[in-house]
Structure 1
Amino acid sequence: MQKGGFHTPATETWFLANQELPNDVFWFSLGSTIQSHTKGIWMWCLPHPCRAGHTLVLLDTEGLGDVEKGDTKNDTWIFALAVLLSGTLVYNSLGTIDQRALEQLHYVTELTERIKVKAAGEGGRQEGEDSAEFMRFFPAFVWAVRDFTLQLVLDGREITEDEYLENALKRRQGQPEKLDLPKKYLRQYFPSRKCFVFDRPAPRRDLARLDQLPEAALSPDFLQQAQRFCSHVHQHAGTKTLPGGHVVTGTLLGNLAVTYVDAIRSGAVPCMESAVLALAQIENSAAVGEAVAAYEEQLGRRAALPTQSVQELLELHAQCEQEALRAFMARAFKDEEQQYQRQLKDELDSKRAELCRRNEQASSDRCTAALLELSQELEERLCEGSYSEPGGYQRLLDDQREMVENYQLVPEKGIMAAEVLQQFLKSKETVAQAVLQTDLSLTDKQREIEVERARAEAAEQEAQLSQEMQARTEQLLQDQERSHQEHVQQLTAKMEQDRRQLLAEQETALALKLQEQERLLREGLHGEVAQLQQQMQNLRKEMSRPPRSRCVVC
């Protein structure tokens, strides 16, 4: 039996779960002394227990407020990174949520100085950034209170853990601003809040060896509370997403961490918008590669070259292109100037040209092989001189006509059948003319008539072939237009989806601001209500603004 837990800045360690897991899973080691055990942020990944295809990622931060570090800036950056990387932020404290516990959470008051939303300008928080913009990036907030011994009773009635938290976050007129700031920022910047309280997991004498205790030795109440907490995380902690609803994969999370850490190490303030744009470039480039791979995979499943018509080939290309576009649109995000979609279109256009070339080559090879086989007997007669006698020219024409008729019966020759046949017959014109001139059964006049007839047949075949090639060119042009419209349709659908997602995020932010306004009115903080109303007005204007027109893939 193994156990996983989070470290705290206190001297004790407590467990979040107690469950059987594979032996090769990486577990956080647990500290049991006054010295901080975790350094930096440790990561633990395991398959999500409730959602197929998802990974549950736990980030364990070093204890905040460690007296040995002597550098509060380090703690602030650790806290900021946890906020930026998490989908749900779990903050745990000891005892109760009182003024001292809120003061210890001063890191939240510094977030807007350590993080900026927009890339414009220099320095920290940008003019015009308000809580609605931070809400789009910030995680859900869960406050876990360890070693809780009080009764959840307020004004003579039992209350829930969430009500306990919200009551602790009530603001009061006349309270010093410094003491009020943690409450203000927790309420304004985190889109949702949840609270869990936990009994002490075991008697104090056993806490130092907590990771060695059997489950039966742990407090039943604590185990029940821990189970409720884990169930909440498993069932309700949403998938980590970026603004716009784009799901954060493992690769994206790694790139996001590198981007933020590099910014911090360089002395800059991490910019969420810049980080997302940097991720978009990486992800969109990968989306192009994934889309091309999807095209090739579909082509490998469907392709049977040569096709019997250009239309059949273009339909094959269109089916593969649709799969490629679906793969691209599912992964790409913030490709606002369609740079990567145009790159994909160029790639797919090249794939179509290559497919046409391969199809023509396959058809040409099959037709050439068929003609070589069918003309073998005729070639042998030519070598034997069978046509070098009176009446030989007519026999040659009859044998060629029979060969052509048999060639027309060969199945699945593809789109190059007429062109290859014409080239073959043209290559035999010199031999045919030689037989014509040596056929003593013909008069000079008859020879002239035969020459003109052969020339007229060749011209007619040339005209027919030219018409076929013109029709083929027109079909390719029509397919280019179809491809263009397909890209535009997919782009339009993507833009509409992004617009709906943005509106949903804005509506959520507006609803939360309305709730905050009601609370501020109840608490008598009318000065902040006016500021909040201005933010809501700005948000409503943004929601009613028509979507920005963008260039269309061409």
Structure 2
Amino acid sequence: MAPGGVCMARPLCLIENHPDGRLVLQEEALGVLQRVRQPVVVVAIMGLYRTGKSYLMNRLAGERKGFSLGSTVQGNTKGIWMWCRPHPCRSDQTLVLLDTEGLGDVGKGDTQNDAWIFALAILLSSTLVYNSMGTIDQNALEQLHYVSELTQRIRITSSRDQSQEDEDSSEFVRYFPAFIWAVRDFTLELEIDGCAVSDDGYLENALKLQKGDTEQIRRCNLPRLCIRKFFPSRKCFTFDRPTNRKNLRRLAELEEEDLEEEFLKPVARFCEHVWETAKRKTVPGGQAVTGAMLANLAKAYVGAINGGEVPCLENAFLALAEIENAAAVREALSRYEEEMQRRVALPTGSVEELLRTHAECEREATGAFMARAFGANIKKFQDELTHELKLKKEEFCQRNEAVSFARCTAALESLSQGLESGVRAGRFSVPGGYRQFLEERRQMEERYRLLPNKGVQADKALEGFLKSKETEANSILLADMALSEKEKQLEAQQVQTEAARRQQELMEQDQARMKQLMEDQERSHEEQFRLLREKMEEEKERTREETERIVQLKLQEQKKLLEEGFYQKAKDMEDEIRKLKENNNSIFEICMAALDKALPYLNQGMQYYMLQHMAKTASASAAASAPAEPPKGSVPAKK
């Protein structure tokens, strides 16, 4: 099994249907979904109870048993049951099968509950199978009356009133699953007006609208019109009776040879069609839904229904994007930490070396974020990630400096032990002792500079060490009787000049480091903007492809309406197609234009901040390198 997938040995109840009408999510099934990190292909099946829905789902799972088939007139499946299986054709995806409670169960007595189960099947699936018995006639279409209630059960946005949504099916089509009608125990010849037709042709003929404007005709056309509007991508399969009536009750126990060939052939075609063509579940922008995301969607929809609200796709996707994008930030930061710990050995030889590794790890972390993040609020979470990565970079820089400084300080203390011993023993408290002290200190500095792996604080640690020894050096200088007062003054000035030179070098190093940090931050900003723009371009392209697919399906539907003589309905569909095309790219173009305008200002702000910091550093270094008081006991040089 591929990484991120799950193979369940048996189905679990995902949404339990309580007697009081409440829908309750089951934690065990949610836990399984949370472990599925792969994109999911979600196939749900609906239909009247006792019509053999579970058998088809077991075949899709590649098993003879699994979902309960039942053998009496009482419906077995209550609520929605789930079975996660490795996808038979795509190792990087998981097949999620949803078997739903049968519609019209007389023992239930609550049609509202049936309508919510139907709505949930549509909201959660990427392919919906409707299972019926006999033929597709007016009675079968009227049993599918739930489809005409969809705009009362599902809303696209929270800002538009219900009447507006009723008038426009184009946005529903973008989010609704592909539709398959499975006709069981079909015994008629597939002929229309003496001509043989395919299963699909049979369905399309059954969905033809009746002409006229009476109440009876409008009621007759309503389910047909809704199916055609909401499910332009549709398919039909007809199945003969699998075996004799007596054996039906033990269908799960029968071997292949015990079943009718005219039943097995369409079952095989049905399974192959679903396995090969069923699409991944996606959210707006084309982002693939994982099992964990599907679990969160189920929570949002069931929560809305139990709260007496109509599930809103926009709100559900916004909430899902918040959860996923926050998780994407955490995953990216964890990836950055792991890669930096693996690749960086502190202390580094230079700031440039650390920043180069940081840039590589930042790219990997941001790539992981972009692969998972989606939605209109992606910029907010990318900014959060950028800020956190900047803090982590600064933390690594500080740790790098701290490790370097500690290593260098320890090395200096070790190398200076002989010098310290000489000072304590009074070895330099003799005529000429100061020159001897300076020579031994110079030799110690040379040995220090030859040490490897000192890191970025080598010069600063040495400067700190020398400053800490200034009192000792001045005492030895004043005590050296071999030097005249003038020579002592010259030596003191030389020491001060050398200290100022070192301070200047440290200031230049600090400015160079700040320049490197500024350039790295500019690089980071530009890369983040480039990646965000690429992400938006990808989403724009996926949305364009999806819109084009829907437009082509709508055009086919419009052509059928024209052929049937429904010119006004064809004109209404033309308006839907126009809206789809107009609304496709507007939000992406606005966002990308705003990004392009913002980047120069961000870089200018970063440059201003860095220059201010460099100016402060230069001022502080200049103050630190100002001439100090001569050693006590010496005579100031005459001008």
Identify the TM-score tier after normalising by the shorter chain: over 0.9
Taking structure 1 as reference, are residues 144 and 22 closer, same or farther at Cα in structure 2, changes over 3 Å only? Answer: closer
C-alpha displacement of 1:399: 0.8
- Asked whether the 8 Å contact 1:7–1:38 carries over to 2, the reply is no
Residues 1:168 and 2:206 aligned together: yes
Which residue is equivalent to 2:39? none
SS of corresponding position for 2:385: helix
Distance in 1 between the 2:283 and 2:205 partners? 31
The answer to whether the aligner puts 1:448 opposite 2:516 as a matched pair is: no
Deviations along 1:37-94, whole A, 9 cap, x unmatched?
A: 1111111111212211321111111110111222111111111110010000000000
1:69 aligns with 108
Q: Distance in 2 between matches of 1:481 and 1:213?
A: 69
Look up the match of 1:32.
71
Identify if the C-alpha distance between structure 1 residues 118 and 285 changes in structure 2 by more than 3 Å, giving closer, same or farther: same
Q: Distance in 1 between matches of 2:519 and 2:260?
A: 73
2:220 to 172, 179, 199: 179
Decide which of 139, 143, 161 is 2:181's aligned counterpart. Answer: 143
**2 CA distance for matches of 1:3 and 1:255?**
22
Aligned-residue offset at 1:505: 2.1
* RMSD of aligned alpha carbons: 2.4
| Counterpart residue number, 2:558 | 517
**Equivalent position SS for 2:590:** coil
By how many angstroms is 1:484 displaced?
A: 1.1
Query: What is the percentage of aligned positions where both structures have the same residue?
Result: 51
What is the CA deviation profile of residues 276-309 of structure 1, one whole-angstrom value per residue up to 9, with x for unaligned ones? 1111111111111111111112212211211111
Residue 175 of structure 2 aligns to a residue whose secondary structure is coil
Alignment correspondent of 1:80: 119
Cα distance change of structure 1 residues 424 and 335 upon mapping to structure 2, 3 Å threshold: farther
Change (3 A) 1:422 1:79: same
Amino acid at match of 1:371: L
Contact 1:3–1:18 (Cα < 8 Å) also in 2: no
Aligned partner letter, 2:209: R
Please say if 1:206 is aligned against 2:244: no
Matches of 1:8 and 1:91 in 2, distance apart?
5
Q: Specify which of 37, 53, 56 is matched with residue 16 of structure 1.
A: 56
TM-score by length of 1: 0.94
- CA-to-aligned-CA distance 1:135-182 (integer Å, 9 cap, x gap): 111000011111111222333333221122112112231270111111
**Superposition pairs for residues 37-436 of structure 1, below 5 Å?**
37-121=76-160, 124=162, 126-127=164-165, 130-174=168-212, 176-336=217-377, 338-436=379-477
1:388 CA drift (Å): 1.8
* C-alpha distance in 2 between matches for 1:331 and 1:7: 31
Relative to structure 1, is the Cα distance of residues 141 and 33 closer, same or farther in structure 2, using a 3 angstrom cutoff? Answer: same
1:120 Cα shift?
0.2
Secondary structure of 2:250 counterpart: helix
Structure-2 residue corresponding to 1:548: 590
**Structure 2 CA distance for partners of 1:544 and 1:402, relative to 1, 3 Å:** closer
Deviation at 1:22, TM superposition (A): 10
Q: Is the 8 A contact 1:18 1:215 kept in 2?
A: no
Amino acid aligned to 1:138: F
Structure 1 segments unaligned to the other structure (5+ residues):
none
* Alpha-carbon separation, structure 1, partners of 2:126 and 2:470: 78
The normalised TM-score by structure 2 is: 0.82
406 and 36 in structure 1: CA distance in 2 versus 1, 3 angstrom threshold: same
Distance of 2:167 and 2:549 partners within structure 1: 17
Task: Tell me the CA shift for residue 335 of structure 1.
Answer: 3.6
Number of residues paired by the alignment?
A: 551
8 Å contact kept, 1:87–1:237: yes
Whichever residue aligns with residue 158 of structure 2, its letter is: A
CA distance in 1, matches of 2:569, 2:187: 35
Which SS does the other structure have where 1:143 is aligned? Answer: strand
Question: What displacement does 1:395 show?
Answer: 1.2
Give the AA of the match of 2:590. R
Letter in 1 for 2:97: L
Instruction: Flag the 1:324–1:528 CA change in 2: closer, same or farther, 3 A.
Output: same
- With over 3 angstroms needed to count, the CA separation of the structure-2 counterparts of 1:6 and 1:194, relative to structure 1, is closer
Alpha carbons 2:104, 2:111 under 8 Å: kept? yes
1:478 equivalent to 2:519? Answer: yes
> 1 CA distance for matches of 2:68 and 2:177?
26
Q: What CA distance in whole angstroms lies between the structure 1 residues aligned with 2:243 and 2:318?
A: 48
Give the letter for the 2:490 counterpart: I
Partner of 2:22: none
Distance across 2 between alignment mates of 1:3 and 1:371: 68
Over 3 Å counting, the alpha-carbon distance change for 1:92 and 1:114 in structure 2 is same
Once the 2 structures are TM-superposed, how far is the Cα of residue 3 of structure 1 from its aligned partner?
A: 10
Q: How far did residue 9 of structure 1 move? A: 2.8
| Conserved? CA contact 1:145–1:197, under 8 Å | yes
Q: Which amino acid aligns with 2:575?
A: Q
Deviations 1:232-286 (CA, angstroms, capped at 9, x unpaired)? 1111111111121111111111111111111111111111111111111111111
Contact 1:116–1:272 (CA under 8 A) maintained in structure 2: yes
CA contact (8 A) 1:143 1:194 kept: yes
